């Protein structure tokens, strides 16, 4: 890594972004060479603010675009228009202005929600366009997917180095545990924690428990992003995941065991399961830039639970 490099990480104060900043600093990059734009200073949904941001940090070599409006199933169902608009505008303006400002490389971070609802398991990058995404998160998934189209178009027309990564569901310390917008693991950890503290005899969980998911520990995700940012320069999209699959029912049982909760789990099958299955083919990431997840799932869950118990919402 060139330690004189200057890098912009949008969303760098958030869950994944804060771990990624720590990764770059840990590898020797001076913290002063990493610019993390804050929402109160730059609203990236507006082109004028994006242009101002690039002017305020001149000479940047690379952008990693993590900033997003994002949440769980309930949040997606309540805010489809905002999720589509906000993410589409941020991605569009960030890519175009980065190109015009002469940024050498752009790392667009997409989402597993971009895949079709009934993608064969394991999800391979070549299946990305073979159907429509799962309905509850389609507006978000499609908005983020447009960054891939734009990145590849800029590569074709301008020879510009923009790459696109598809991380699976993340979890770990500093996650969003707000029940109004959190994803499944932090939502369940908070629910089980509260039930334990209040001695509640049962918890309610959305869906049937039959849907499956894949999860990637946030520090592993930061490692994958770092390796891609340093070593991957092709136009093909790349999955970032752990290659494991677990049903939501198995996940709930594991969390209850790790957290010592013995109450009843009540499944609310009037609520959606979301995408039926999710599990990635992660071979391209390992082949192209040497990324392979290292953190065992139960180890990652224990570290996440420990962090939340010290920082309860």
Helix axes 218-231, 15-26, angle to 10 degrees: 60
- Residues 20-56: tens digit of each pLDDT: 999 999 999 999 999 999 999 999 999 999 999 999 9
DSSP H or E segment with residue 10: strand 7-10
Q: What pLDDT was estimated at residue 2?
A: 77
| Domains in the chain, CATH or no CATH each | 7-175+215-243+278-294 (3.40.50.720)
Q: For strand 238-240 and strand 161-167, is the pairing parallel, antiparallel, or unpaired?
A: parallel
The residue annotated as part of the active site, out of 42, 140, 164, 232, is 140
Give the Cα separation of 139 and 159 in Å (integer). 29
Q: Whose CA is closest to 173, among 32, 83, 35, 299?
A: 299
Q: Whose CA is closest to 224, among 16, 33, 63, 10?
A: 16
Backbone angles phi, psi at 171, to 5 degrees: -155, 165
Q: What pLDDT was estimated at residue 281?
A: 98
Which DSSP letter does residue 308 get?
H
DSSP-assigned beta bridge partners for residue 266? 204
SS3 62: strand
Distances (CA, A) of 193 to 24, 173, 189, 197: 33, 15, 6, 6
Q: Whose CA is closest to 241, among 215, 219, 222, 218?
A: 215
Distances (CA, A) of 267 to 165, 183, 206, 245: 34, 17, 6, 20
DSSP-assigned beta bridge partners for residue 202? 264
Backbone angles phi, psi at 253, to 5 degrees: -60, -40
Cα end-to-end span (Å), the chain: 38
Would you tell me how many other CB atoms lie within 10 Å of the CB of residue 27?
11
Please, are residues 42 and 49 in contact by the beta-carbon 8 Å criterion?
yes
Please, are residues 113 and 137 in contact by the beta-carbon 8 Å criterion?
yes
Largest CA distance in the chain: 61
Angle formed at CA 307 by CA 304 and CA 313, multiple of 5 degrees: 105
Lookup: tokens for 164: 């696109």
Give the Cα separation of 177 and 182 in Å (integer). 5
pTM for the whole structure = 0.95
Give the Cα separation of 43 and 66 in Å (integer). 14
SS3 215: strand
Lookup: tokens for 298: 């139960």
Q: What pLDDT was estimated at residue 3?
A: 72
The segments of the chain whose pLDDT lies below 50 read none
Q: Whose CA is closest to 86, among 169, 40, 143?
A: 143
For residue 140, indicate whether it is catalytic: yes
Give the Cα separation of 41 and 32 in Å (integer). 18
């Amino acid at each position: 890594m060139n330690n004189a490099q200057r890098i912009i990480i949008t969303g760098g104060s958030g869950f994944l972004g804060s771990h990624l900043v720590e990764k770059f600093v840990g590898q020797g990059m001076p913290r002063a060479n990493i610019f993390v734009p804050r929402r109160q200073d730059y609203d990236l949904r507006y082109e004028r603010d994006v242009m101002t941001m690039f002017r305020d940090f001149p000479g940047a070599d690379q952008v990693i675009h993590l900033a997003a409006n994002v949440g769980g199933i309930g949040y997606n169902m309540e805010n489809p228009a905002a999720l589509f608009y906000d993410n589409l505008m941020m991605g569009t303006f960030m890519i175009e202005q980065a190109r015009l400002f002469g940024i050498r490389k752009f790392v667009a971070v997409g989402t597993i929600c971009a895949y079709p609802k009934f993608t064969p398991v394991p999800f391979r990058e070549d299946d990305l366009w073979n159907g429509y995404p799962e309905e509850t998160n389609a507006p978000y998934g499609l908005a983020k997917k447009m960054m891939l189209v734009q990145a590849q178009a800029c590569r074709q027309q301008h020879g510009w180095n923009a790459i696109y990564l598809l991380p699976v569901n993340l979890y770990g310390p500093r996650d969003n545990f707000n029940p109004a917008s959190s994803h499944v693991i932090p939502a369940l950890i908070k629910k089980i924690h509260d039930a334990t503290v209040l001695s509640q005899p049962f918890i309610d969980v959305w869906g049937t428990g039959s849907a499956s998911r894949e999860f990637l520990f946030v520090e592993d995700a930061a490692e994958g992003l770092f390796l891609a940012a340093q070593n991957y320069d092709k136009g093909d999209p790349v999955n970032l995941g752990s290659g494991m699959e677990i049903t939501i029912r198995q996940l709930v049982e594991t969390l209850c065991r790790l957290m010592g909760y013995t109450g009843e789990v009540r499944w609310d099958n009037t609520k959606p399961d979301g995408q039926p299955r999710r599990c990635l083919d992660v071979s391209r990431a390992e082949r192209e830039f040497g990324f392979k997840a290292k953190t065992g799932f139960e180890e990652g869950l224990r570290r996440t639970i420990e962090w939340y118990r010290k920082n309860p919402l």
